[in-house]
Structure 1
Amino acid sequence: MSDSTSLLVIGAGLAGYMFAKEWRKLDKTTSLTIITNDHGDYYSKPLLSTALKNNKTANSLPINNAAEMAEQLDAKIIINCEVTAIDAINKMVKADDDWHGYEQLVLAVGSTPIHLMLKGDAVERVHSINDLKAYSKFRAHLQPNAKVIIVGSGLVGCEFANDLILSGYQVDVVSLDNQPLHRLAPPLVGRSVEQSLADKGVVWHFNEVVKAVDLVPNGLAVVCESGLELVGQNVLSAIGIKPEVALAKAAGLTVSRGIVVDSYMQTSDPNIFALGDCVELNAQLKQYVAPLLHAGRCLAKTIAGEKTECIYPVMPVQVKTTLCPVVVVPPVEKNVVWQIEGDLPNIKALCYDENKRLHGFALSGACVRERMQLVNELSI
């Protein structure tokens, strides 16, 4: 069986739905079909790492279900359906056993967690959270006052550590890095997060390589190459995500780390566009909400007939560690120097080039109040 639509979107995450919302504002009549491999609930993925403290469950996080979104968007939404192939020449996609035609196709296929190469008899019990389904599974296994071992001290690992410790759980964080937020912020900003969460009970283990997860009588044992062994009831891997490119690559589209697009979010096929976590633009991955929303608005205009280039404004990255808030604008330029002032946990780090021009900043604690002033300076 096959059918056809003018605009077909693969993916019903935040990228797919936000694009569809923006596009439908501009085009009230063109047919729209969205295909998703999950239930199609509309929710904000960044809220997963703060749900416990905000008294949210996996069931209460969705804002709308697929039927409600279909009505809002005047769209056909096909749920629990895996797209397995794109025939770019004939402009069709295969989803389960059906073929769906399109005039224009938008890939909003997101990302997938990076998995540790682990040994042990409890590897399948390691959680990686990148969507509502995975979060629901994590919460189902989370018992009151349990000890959670988080592997990874990047943005997501720190946010979950913050949320769990404030919600009455015991938390150990194991990391290959020597500080939190190692790839995002200067050392003192990371140390601010480390100190603030440690003061509440988070135990940090840096410069450790996890090699195995084993089942033991009182839970799960996380074993490191150094000989360190930690025992807890839950293990959460938060070592990062990678763009989902398999479908695009099999279709013959240009991919690198992500699906390569131009400044109009167009792939190497003129009828196929992409946005969100799966995209690589100007050799960069921007796997945060603000770039996703901006690109969605630009792409909506382009597909509605008003060709609009996606030029990102200054978009700070907010780390939702409420015990020590952090805001970062990472510099793109390489030949820059950080100038740092303040005392833990209130750090102000400014990134300048040799001409004293500001290229980025990282703020922690009370210094986050200065974010808008610095954004304005960067925007000049």
Structure 2
Amino acid sequence: MSVENQSAGIVIIGAGLAGWHVVDAIRAKDKDIPITLITADNGDRYHKPMLTMAISQQKNAADLVRATGSDAAKAANINLLANTQVTDIDPASQTVQLISALRSDPVYTNYATISYDKLVLAMGAHPIFPKSLPEDLVWHVNHIERFGQLQEKLAAG
């Protein structure tokens, strides 16, 4: 068996704009290297800057999705682990421990352990919440799911 066949490949944590751009850049250079993309959401591809204009353009979250995570993963020939959280990274053994958000039994935190040759952290930013403002009035729209929640809130008045 050749070394290429034994490769654990590249693991990318985060399927936002940065994560998908890393996938695109790798695929432009190498069509065959194994890539696993891990995301806490469904991995849909959308252009994040559009979130800031979507309400004024009367678009909903579905209008912004350019490709579902599943379809984008098939097109890029990658393994997408959607609705999955990373619980630990062990650089010594080059492994990542995961738990699926869709599991009905949260007792087992070692849902899966996967290996990597290269690891990319593309997790984005977490905005700071201003303590001086009431939490129920401040919306951080940093991903499409949160945008959809804001739209529902606005529609409800």
TM-score class normalised by the smaller sequence? 0.7 to 0.9
Query: Among residues 124, 133, 143, which one is paired with 1:110 in the alignment?
Result: 124
Aligned twin of 1:37: 40
1:142 partner SS: helix
8 Å contact kept, 1:84–1:94: yes
1:28, CA displacement in angstroms? 0.9
1:118, CA displacement in angstroms? 4.3
Distance (Å, rounded) in 1 between the aligned partners of 2:68 and 2:8: 22
Richer in helix (by share): 2
Which structure 2 residues correspond to residues 212-251 of structure 1 after superposition, within 5 A?
none
Which has the bigger relative contact order, CA under 8 A and spacing at least 6? 2
Aligned twin of 1:197: none
2:37 matched to 1:23?
A: no
8 Å contact kept, 1:32–1:75: yes
8 Å contact kept, 1:35–1:81: yes
Distance (Å, rounded) in 2 between the aligned partners of 1:25 and 1:6: 16
Identity between Structure 1 and Structure 2 (%): 31
Which protein is bigger by CA-based radius of gyration? 1
Structure 2: which 5+ residue stretches go unaligned? 1-6, 100-110
RMSD: 1.8
TM-score after normalising by structure 2: 0.83
1:65, CA displacement in angstroms? 0.6
Query: Among residues 71, 74, 85, which one is paired with 2:88 in the alignment?
Result: 85
Query: Among residues 95, 99, 106, which one is paired with 2:113 in the alignment?
Result: 99
Q: 2:151 is aligned with what amino acid?
A: R
Aligned twin of 1:128: 140
Aligned twin of 1:63: 66
Distance (Å, rounded) in 1 between the aligned partners of 2:137 and 2:54: 21
2:63 partner SS: coil
2:117 partner SS: strand
Deviations 1:20-76, CA, capped at 9 Å, x for gaps? 012101101111100000111000110001112333211111100111111111000
